[in-house]
Amino acid sequence: MPSLSTTTPVPIVLAGARGHGRWHLANIRRLQHQGLVRLAGVCELKPLDDGELDAFAGELPEQSADFGALLDSTGARAAVICTPIQTHAELALTAAGRGVHLLLEKPPAATRADFERILAGVRDAGIACQVGFQSFGSHAVPAIRELVRTGAIGTVQGYGAAGAWVRDEAYYRRAPWAGRRRIGDTDVVDGVLTNPLAHAVATALELAGSGSAQDVVAVETELFRAHGIEADDTSCVRITTASGVPVTAAVTLCAEQAGEPYVIVHGDRGRITFWYKQDRVLVQRAGHGPEEAVHRRTDLLENLVEHLVRDAALLVPPHRTGAFMEVVEAVRTADEPRALPADAWYSVPATASAAPRRVVRGIDALVAAGADTLTLFSELGAPWALRSGLETGPTTEVSSS
């Protein structure tokens, strides 16, 4: 096989170039400068202006609001889909129907049914599909798995994820679908577990070797909201895996102080902490001093190109995110998130650079404790998480079909 540097650049269409799509636009530009890809088209309801495309001066891509027509006219070989969650399935199937390979942003779909439609469409079309969980490209992931395999921390007791982020009230006004569970009859599921801090859940499942739908036996959810939204902004989940090792995640967008999200691998003789956005790993184990390392990362679009050119293995094929989609489905079908009582949170006034935001009292410590003890908010004694006659949130049993 020829090296990537000597191949014809892969023509790519980007669907959704604003918001998080700006990151993809910059990444495509980086790979275009390396001769690996060529931005052939941009699909946006409102075309990008010259300022937004100034880095592509002299090589301006075609633009259209019609994704299928744009794929046809540009002859794109691959597409990046970074559009609202509820549009993923139809756009992915549009690309699959034309034999166009995909990098599909997370979450891959809003419902299990739509995810299964994507799986079938990708399989029938014979195309490559990569799901945008960037943390799976971290070289820390195989390094942690090797530490676990060789018994560095003894027998694994569980995996706990924590995410404490700050998002102001303007975050929920950025788009009509932001913070929504559904729009009319269309599921959106834009909650903290399923979208902004989805990586915390998915990365914990990936480290646990429980990425497929068949690896999930049951999902317990506790969903809350401090903001005046439909979806959850402060939540926790515990996943019972087929291996019997629990996976938990405690997350919020109402933190007192913004922190780096992480996953802890708990062993009976130590622990491994993985700050997945930083590719940073800390190993603490009996008989050794703490060991810290920062790993490299493989970009998922670059990996997709390597797959197309060199037949390299995809890092995040859709089936590896089936377990995460079981969590999405459990959140989607759970009771509506409970509004936190007024005394459980407070408002931080607007500043020159930020809109007002809401902070859940004591949530930073609660999130950390959830990951540290593999327990839910209700089990940690948060008064607003306790239910009358019910200690924990509802459990969704996962069908084996």
Q: What is the pLDDT of residue 88?
A: 98
Domain 4-134, CATH 3.40.190.10 — does that match? no
Q: Where are the domains positioned within the chain?
A: 4-134, 138-295+346-397
Neighbours of 385 (CB within 10 A): 23
Q: What is the pLDDT of residue 395?
A: 76
Q: What is the pLDDT of residue 188?
A: 98
Q: What is the pLDDT of residue 166?
A: 97
Residue 282: phi and psi, rounded to 5, are -120, 125
Structure tokens at 184: 């009319």
CATH fold match for the domains 4-134 and 138-295+346-397 = no
Residue 303: phi and psi, rounded to 5, are -65, -40
Q: How many residues does the chain have?
A: 401
Amino acid occupying residue 25? L
Contact predicate 259/243, CB 8 Å: no
Distance CA(174)–CA(169), nearest Å, equals 9
> Mean pLDDT per segment of 10 residues, for the chain of length 401 residues?
61 96 96 95 94 76 97 98 98 98 98 98 98 98 98 98 97 96 98 98 98 98 98 98 98 98 98 98 95 98 97 97 98 98 97 93 98 98 78 63 45
Using the 8-state DSSP alphabet, how is residue 340 labeled?
A: P
Q: What is the pLDDT of residue 396?
A: 76
Q: What are 207-244's pLDDT values in tens digits?
A: 999 999 999 999 999 999 999 999 999 999 999 999 99
Q: What is the pLDDT of residue 390?
A: 42
**Angle separating helix axes 88-96 and 67-74, nearest 10 degrees:** 30
Q: Is 64 helix (H, G, I), strand (E, B) or coil?
A: strand
Distance CA(18)–CA(49), nearest Å, equals 11
Question: In the Cβ-directed half-sphere of 42, how many Cα atoms lie within 13 Å?
Answer: 25
Q: Which pTM value belongs to this model?
A: 0.94
Structure tokens at 172: 């929920």
Among 78, 144, 89, 100, which Cα is nearest to 325's?
89
User: Which strand (E) or helix (H) includes residue 249?
Assistant: strand 247-252
Cα-Cα-Cα-Cα dihedral sign, residues 351, 357, 358, 361: negative
* Residue at token pair 């560095």: 152
Amino acid occupying residue 319? H
Domain 138-295+346-397, CATH 3.30.110.60 — does that match? no
Contact predicate 202/210, CB 8 Å: no
Q: What is the pLDDT of residue 393?
A: 60
Q: What are 60-119's pLDDT values in tens digits?
A: 899 999 999 999 999 999 999 999 999 999 999 999 999 999 999 999 999 999 999 999
User: Which strand (E) or helix (H) includes residue 235?
Assistant: strand 234-241
Distance CA(158)–CA(266), nearest Å, equals 5
CB neighbour list of residue 51: distance below 8 Å, 6 or more residues apart: none
Q: What is the pLDDT of residue 3?
A: 43
* Residue 195 burial (C-beta neighbours within 10 Å; 0-12, 13-18, 19+): buried
